[in-house]
Structure 1
């Protein structure tokens, strides 16, 4: 591995973080907020770190797979470290809590350790939302789109960041594709901001919630999340945009080029839509029968929470008080997540489709051993290597949930609460049940639990393999070829 190339690209990421921090600094200076000093120091630290990386780095024409993995992993470590500085240097949080908040934002988890947001300056709240927005599409994807100077081999960085089980290349050149995705991301954010303003929300609040919605994070500027607005229109539009953010951005580009018929022919999106509608119906009926809730309210809260806990983590109702069946459905939605190529995490709908089709093929082959069954996704043949990776990912995903839950129970959490926390952090959702329910924060958790959850959130966002491969000794051997 060429460590000088890795250092060079990390230096550019550090400089990019310094540039991003100038936006909340400008807001702080304009509003004369006390956070301006912490933000200025954060910029200086980011720039200093960038110069340190640059001193021991040099560009290269091509990257190997190992360098792409290293850049992606250490790029996320660098980004989350620099992202925590405004919280730490401003005295708003301690080191571990600041790191937790930063990782939660960049990974789109939306789990907060702030006991109250009311006393935070707007510039810090804006930075929280910026971390959600940057991490939503992906630090590396945005880097490739805006700073494309590493050649075609940046595909290794793109792959390592994790977008699902398919490589849906809508354009032959990676830079053109990432730029197209970034433009769609910008348009979605701008449209969401405009719609929120039409719902009666002021611009500063609309833009922050739009960033959190499209980035599928769930951070809010208010302690009571979207319940604060008491607006049916705001909830419905938020649910709509959360649903869109859970779909594939590559698919939206093809819709723009070829028309809306493309979306109806997409197997994954149709399955995603059916899962959401089915869950809304089941939970609404359960709320009506089990809690005596009126039909209009039941549909309203179930629609919002189903779309939110599949993707984002906003809260419009205290679902901790809902019947056990509704909680189980929400837990399953946290497991599944959104589509491949979306800003949401989770197992991804495409993998669920492949697992079901593969199981069906195995059953049919048991009945007729000589039968050849073709497994496809979106009209494309899926080879055995892809099916193996999908099955391996599914096993590792469940294994990490149970290992995390086991460690959390050692720290005193009840088993169901521990499983729910493991599912929601690995799936980058945020709220769960019990100790971190819809109306609670992660602040009461111990340092041990927070440390475990920091790793779990990163594993979920980078889809496990990128971080686990760093644990292999062969990855670090200079003589090992990749």
Structure 2
């Protein structure tokens, strides 16, 4: 294990995160909130000092970089930037307990949207901005950003594809172009473009500038931190519709947008994952609309709220226009199922990912066919290409570990004594980076009532879900720190 290399990557990540805090600090200065400005200034100073020490003591000519360094660097960087990212909330006194502040910022960086706050509107604008912007940073990934814009990071990381594979969601990650830097720049270019379009459409609907940026950050990162207690409920139908469309767009694999720019329409249409994603979303919207139509003045209004909530839950964003806890059990069951499905691989959404669900379904079909025809060779294909056994085995292993973590987390937080529905939906919502669950953690609830132990478990679930488990689990393995390859 190249420990000095890990130190340099972590130092660069913390330094860049601190630079992004300059914007909320400026907002605090403009709003005349000197105490909040000092809380950000102090945090930035601590992060700069920490980064300087790491970069100084991690100087080395050894650029050896393998998969284990990629996993370890990703896991450590996300933990450390979360520990520092919570400090402005804590120093400002607006979230007076550090555990709560840590839970909030982990929820932000992992694009979960789960909150311990009962009154979001009590936060200052600078903290509201930092809270929402953390979604945007975590959506595409801080290390991908480093690879795109920081030359030193590319020199340090060597084979940076290991970093991208560790941080980017999905069963497999590849380069869009022969050069990794170009791939990272294309991904972030598309990300910025879609975010800007979302802001423009929100502004055209009359949303205030500050609100537009915060809501767009939450939509782009599929995070769901709102700046009003009613989430999206107080905004117009037009603004809610804009967010509905962009949530679905950010749930699509970004490589398809690159193919769209290249006008490779046939390749896009061949995407089985995209077709299943659209099919699941469309079918869920139709079923829920039929089920809740009697609760609203018109079928259109029922369709509007069904479309918004399906988009929000499936893309793991977590915004809400209504209290879906009041919906019939059938509709809530569909939303609960969508929590597990998630968005597409290579998007900013969480969950299992549609591609994994598709591969699992294909594997089940292959197993049934092999039972019926033992001598026939059964091959799994996706988008016309053969899926190798290693990918299939990795998906199966991921699902197994996924279920074990869900079960263990559920058992631990059950010590707090809340209902099974509250606890299982809380773990599911945090692990799949969704945010709201059901009952006490529903659209109008929060996570503030949980104990410190449960909050730490749920925060760990958020990190495990966002980084897709293994970059954090490898930190616990002795083999990771072994010098042997």
Q: TM-score, normalised to structure 2's length? A: 0.96
**In structure 2, what is the equivalent of residue 118 of structure 1?**
121
Please state how far the C-alpha of 1:345 moved relative to its aligned partner: 0.8
Could you give the per-residue CA deviations for residues 160-216 of structure 1, whole angstroms, max 9, x where no partner exists? 114201224221111110110000010011110000001110111101111110100
| The 10-residue stretch of structure 1 (334-343 or 121-130) with the greater mean CA deviation from structure 2 | 121-130
Change in 2 beyond 3 A, CA 1:355/1:58: same
Q: CA deviation at 1:364?
A: 1.0
Structure 2: tracts of 5 or more residues without a match: none
- Partner Cα separation in structure 1 for residue 307 and residue 213 of structure 2: 23
* Structure 2 match to 1:429: 434
Q: Which residue of 2 aligns with 1:308?
A: 312
2:317 corresponds to 1:299:
no
Aligned length in residues: 478
Residue 256 of structure 1 pairs with residue 261 of structure 2: yes
1:342-381 matches, cutoff 5 A? 342-381=347-386
| 8 A Cα contact 1:255 1:261, kept in partner | no
Report the equivalent of 2:186: 180
For 2:155 and 2:213, how far apart are their aligned partners in 1? 31
Q: Within 2, Cα distance between the matches of 1:151 and 1:72?
A: 11
Residue 248 of structure 1, CA deviation? 0.6
For residues 369 and 120 of structure 1, the distance between their equivalents in structure 2, rounded to whole angstroms, comes to 63
Contact 2:285 2:306 in 1 (8 A): yes
Q: CA deviation at 1:343?
A: 0.3
Distance 1:151 1:460, change over 3 A: closer
Q: Give the Cα–Cα distance (whole angstroms) in 2 for the partners of residues 132 and 103 of structure 1.
A: 10
Which digits, 9 at most, give the CA deviation of each residue in 1:394-452, with x for residues without a partner? 12212211211111222212112211111110000000001111111111221121011
Matches within 5 A, 1:250-289: 250-288=255-293
Any gaps of 5 or more consecutive residues in structure 1?
Answer: none
CA distance in 1, matches of 2:167, 2:364: 28
- Bigger mean CA offset, 205-214 vs 403-412: 403-412
Tell me, in whole angstroms, the C-alpha distance in 2 between the residues paired with 1:37 and 1:152: 37
Preserved CA contact (<8 Å) 1:8 1:53? yes
Report the CA distance shift for 1:292/1:298 in structure 2 as closer, same or farther (over 3 A). Answer: closer
Structure 1 residue 293 displacement after superposition: 6.2
SS of the counterpart of 1:179?
Answer: helix
- Deviation, 1:292, is 7.0
Give the secondary structure class of the aligned counterpart of 2:121.
coil
> TM-score if structure 1 supplies the norm length?
0.96
Following superposition, the deviation at residue 259 of structure 1 comes to: 4.5
The aligned counterpart of 2:15 is: 15
**Residue 160 (1) aligns with residue 163 (2):** no
In the alignment, is the contact (CA less than 8 A) between 2:141 and 2:168 conserved in 1?
no
Report the equivalent of 1:216. Answer: 222
Please, which of 90, 93, 111 is the counterpart of residue 92 of structure 2? 90
Which of 199, 204, 229 matches 2:205? 199
The answer to whether the Cα contact below 8 Å between 2:67 and 2:162 also exists between their aligned partners in 1 is yes
Query: 1:44 aligned to 2:57?
Result: no
How far apart are the structure 1 equivalents of 2:168 and 2:407?
A: 22
Residue equivalent to 2:424? 419
Report if the CA contact (8 A) 1:170-1:254 is conserved: no
Q: Give the whole-Å Cα distance in 2 for the aligned partners of 1:373 and 1:236.
A: 44
Match of 1:53 in 2: 54
Instruction: Report if the CA contact (8 A) 1:168-1:250 is conserved.
Output: no
Which of 315, 321, 337 aligns to 1:332? It is 337
Deviation at 1:15, TM superposition (A): 1.4
Deviates more, 1:209-218 or 1:292-301: 292-301
Q: Give the superposition deviation at 1:58.
A: 1.6
Partner-residue secondary structure (3-state), 2:159: helix
8 Å contact kept, 2:14–2:81? yes
Q: Find the aligned partners of 2:297 and 2:367 in 1 and give their Cα distance.
A: 43
Deviation of 1:328 after TM superposition, in Å, equals: 1.0
Matches within 5 A, 1:382-393: 382-393=387-398
Larger CA deviation: 82-91 vs 159-168: 159-168
Residue 64 of structure 1, CA deviation: 2.1
Query: Are 2:111 and 1:105 equivalent residues in the alignment?
Result: no
Given that 1:62 and 1:150 are in contact with CA atoms closer than 8 Å, whether structure 2 keeps it comes out as: no
Q: Distance in 2 between matches of 1:15 and 1:451?
A: 25
* 1:219-230 correspondence runs (5 A): 219-229=225-235
Structure 1 outlier segments of 4+, above 4 Å: none
Residue 74 of structure 1: which of 73, 76, 88 is its match? 76
My pick for the range that moved more, 322-331 or 398-407, is: 398-407
Query: SS state of the match for residue 118, structure 1?
Result: helix
